[in-house]
Amino acid sequence: MLSRKNEIRPFEDTSSLEFLMDKNECALFCFASHSKKRPHNLILGRTYHKHLLDMVEFGCLSVEGLESFKETEKERYGSKPCLVFVGEGWHQDVTLERVQNLFMGKSFYLIHLFIYFIT
């Protein structure tokens, strides 16, 4: 995690983001930001050959931690995420297909999460 306050605007200028990803040798990134214009944003993206391939912006409405679910066990090392894509939109909309492709990539299995998408 990078904690320095760098002025990064991924959709306006990708050069600083590409530099940080090349410097830290990573292909996937997650960028969180908050502003008046775009509150509680989460941007996920990936690169290919040190250039930005694609990125998707999500607006987070609510977040619940694992502690809020009574019947869950603690995270286990090596557990696989469960991704559920529900609805016809995932096969009809090109943008949603790209989002699904981003999550179903080979290197995304390292993230422990449960995401339920509805279109």
Q: Is 86 exposed, middle or buried (0-12, 13-18, 19+ CB in 10 A)?
A: exposed
- Higher pLDDT, residue 68 or 42: 42
Q: What is the largest CA-CA distance in the chain?
A: 44
* Angle, alpha carbons 60-41-65 (nearest 5°): 40
pLDDT for 109:
44
- The DSSP result for 16-38, as a single string, is HHHHHHHHTT-SEEEEEE--SSS
pLDDT tens digits along 78-114 = 666 677 888 888 888 888 888 888 877 654 444 444 4
Dump strand ranges (E) for 1-119. 28-33, 41-48, 51-59, 82-86, 114-118
Q: For the chain, which residues make up each domain, given as ranges?
A: 1-63, 64-119
What's the pLDDT at 77? Answer: 67
More confident residue, 81 or 17: 17
Confidence category of residue 74, pLDDT binned at 50, 70, 90: low
Q: Angle 22-52-3 (CA atoms, 0-180°, nearest 5)?
A: 50
